[in-house]
Structure 1
Amino acid sequence: MLADRSVDVHPTPQAPFYRAVGDEEEVFRAAAGGGLPVLLKGPTGCGKTRFVEAMAHELGRELITVAGHEDMTSADLVGRFLLRGGETVWVDGPLTRAVREGAICYLDEVVEARQDTVVVIHPLADHRRELALDRLGTTLPAAPGFQLVISYNPGYQSVLKNIKESTRQRFVAIELGFPPAEIEAQIVAREAGVGAETAEALVRLGNAIRSLDGSPLREASSTRMLILAGGLVAHGLSLRGAARSAIVQALSDDPDVVRALGELADAVLPPA
């Protein structure tokens, strides 16, 4: 089965904090009402996972999250036969559990998985709403309430790892990005437990890095990074020290890039 690090099951007892920027909540509710699959696309750390958690809580659905990785196989999602107590028994994978129980199954960064894994979800993402259990010789219809949600970062994955049109066209697409500065500062302040001035300074730095012309960075400074930096400040680290550790050093290993980002941080952040 999938390792524990790859699967997370949330009963979502407490409402996750999420601030909507556009109509993403309305689109998701409509899709959920019709049992339609949803594709979330956007940069790493912009809130895709938090959004799904918040919507699962609002809808009262169990959420099963699976982190995609290059070693993931279709058996990891669907299930396999295992030896238990001297007997061979079938054990459902996380996708099969979600289909049986009517839960939301969130496949995070799905394009990182092998292509045969992605093909497995096709019958669940169209009018059939069923999962083929080839090793059991049967087909499992999706229980009421089941919804398939997948995500990926179109700016990060290579062309070879992009979502195929045959997969993409089965989904309702919701594009998420980094929030406007005012909303992002509110998120950072709440999640990191810092004051408004600190949060606003971190967001200014984040936006300055995102706006760099000809940036050599593969990833932008994410909201998640800003929250991590804020958390360091909340526990006693200086603002510049927190930015250096959680943002500058985390974005690159190239000494020249790190130096340039450090200089940018010094220019944007208030004096210590």
Structure 2
Amino acid sequence: MSVQPPRPFYVPVGNEEQVFKAAYRQGLSIVLKGPTGCGKTRFVEAMAHDLGRPLITVSCHDDLTTADLVGRFLLRGGETEWVDGPLTRAVREGAICYLDEVVEARQDTTVVLHPLADHRRQLPIERLGITLDAAPGFCLVVSYNPGYQSVLKDLKDSTRQRMVAIEFGFPTPDVEEKIVATEAGIGPDRAAELVRLGQAIRRLETGGLREVASTRVLIAAGRLIAEGLSPRDAARAAIAGPLTDDSTVTRGLIEMIDAYLSGSDD
């Protein structure tokens, strides 16, 4: 008898769980909008667990082709054989298919999503000359960061209007402290320090930061602290380093780290 794996740790910040489950029950596709590292992927993992559906995740990039999603013919043992791509597997199996950072994929690739994302719930496979009806339980979920991608990489209106949108932001401080403490395995006081640092970095107005300090990088710093690194060394490696290559901005971040994080370990 198989044992049900534990639910991925996710703390709701609003009604996102209710909206997702209502959309799923109605066979609607879903777009998650929010900054990198705010918990969109973990949210989908938790929803798949709650709904009892397998989850197939695709990290999109500008070299992603329609064949990468749908499938292709491959030569195996001297014979040509069709191999389903992740989207086709999800359609056949009734899985949740999560396309992370979907706007990074080429627009000619994402067009294949349209008949799946609306009332038809169908996937045409031109190479096979067939059209698949999505199995019960199938759900298409995509995500992107509207504050980061350029206008040239925005989600097309014809795609977004086929989907229910759920907006994500960073959690409130009390929720984020709980997340960081639980995920990193550190004490609440240390987690609170990291969250205060993260909030301060998010308030900065500078062009030298690639991204703001996400919950993800705060957790990474906490994990380094749990391994015995000093809080300041952990934050320099997990927060300042990934956020910028600009030496001036780096110095400013290090000054903030020294100001917000105490030197002793918990």
Q: TM-score normalised to the size of structure 1? A: 0.94
Q: Is the 8 A contact 1:189 1:195 kept in 2?
A: yes
1:27 to 19, 22, 29: 19
Q: What amino acid maps onto 1:82 in structure 2? A: L
Structure 2 residue ranges without an equivalent (≥5): none
Match of 2:177 in 1: 185
Q: Is the 8 A contact 1:188 1:230 kept in 2?
A: yes
1:87 to 71, 79, 84: 79
Which is further off, 35-44 or 210-219? 210-219
Match of 2:70 in 1: 78
Match of 1:140 in 2: 132
Q: How does 1:209-220 map to 2 (within 5 A)?
A: 209-220=201-212
Q: Is structure 2 residue 51 aligned with structure 1 residue 59?
A: yes
Q: Is the 8 A contact 1:130 1:140 kept in 2?
A: yes
Match of 1:241 in 2: 233
Q: Is structure 2 residue 173 aligned with structure 1 residue 174?
A: no
Q: Is structure 2 residue 257 aligned with structure 1 residue 268?
A: no
Match of 2:110 in 1: 118
Match of 1:202 in 2: 194
Q: Deviations over 1:162-199 (max 9, x none)?
A: 10111111100001111000100000000000000110
Q: What amino acid maps onto 1:36 in structure 2? A: L
Secondary structure of 1:216 counterpart: coil
Q: How does 1:219-258 map to 2 (within 5 A)?
A: 219-258=211-250
Q: TM-score normalised to the size of structure 2? A: 0.96
1:25 Cα shift?
A: 0.2
- Rounded Cα–Cα distance in structure 1 between residues aligned with 2:126 and 2:77: 24
What's the Cα RMSD here?
1.2
Secondary structure of 2:64 counterpart: coil
1:214 Cα shift?
A: 4.0
1:12 Cα shift?
A: 7.9
Secondary structure of 1:83 counterpart: strand
1:215 Cα shift?
A: 4.9
Secondary structure of 2:140 counterpart: strand
Q: What amino acid maps onto 1:25 in structure 2? A: E
Q: What amino acid maps onto 1:76 in structure 2? A: D
Q: Is the 8 A contact 2:208 2:244 kept in 1?
A: no
1:268 Cα shift?
A: 1.7
Q: Is the 8 A contact 1:156 1:218 kept in 2?
A: no
1:14 Cα shift?
A: 2.5
Q: Deviations over 1:47-96 (max 9, x none)?
A: 00000000000000000000001110000000000111111111100000
- Rounded Cα–Cα distance in structure 2 between residues aligned with 1:200 and 1:55: 27
Secondary structure of 1:15 counterpart: coil
- Rounded Cα–Cα distance in structure 2 between residues aligned with 1:214 and 1:67: 28
Secondary structure of 1:14 counterpart: coil
Structure 1 residues 12 and 100, CA, compared in 2 at 3 Å: closer, same or farther?
farther
Match of 1:97 in 2: 89
Match of 2:29 in 1: 37
- Rounded Cα–Cα distance in structure 1 between residues aligned with 2:117 and 2:94: 14
Q: Is the 8 A contact 1:12 1:62 kept in 2?
A: no
Secondary structure of 1:19 counterpart: coil
Secondary structure of 2:131 counterpart: strand
- Rounded Cα–Cα distance in structure 2 between residues aligned with 1:114 and 1:261: 35
Q: Is the 8 A contact 1:64 1:98 kept in 2?
A: yes
Match of 1:8 in 2: none
Secondary structure of 2:141 counterpart: strand
1:218 Cα shift?
A: 2.9
Q: Is the 8 A contact 2:56 2:97 kept in 1?
A: yes
- Rounded Cα–Cα distance in structure 1 between residues aligned with 2:66 and 2:96: 18
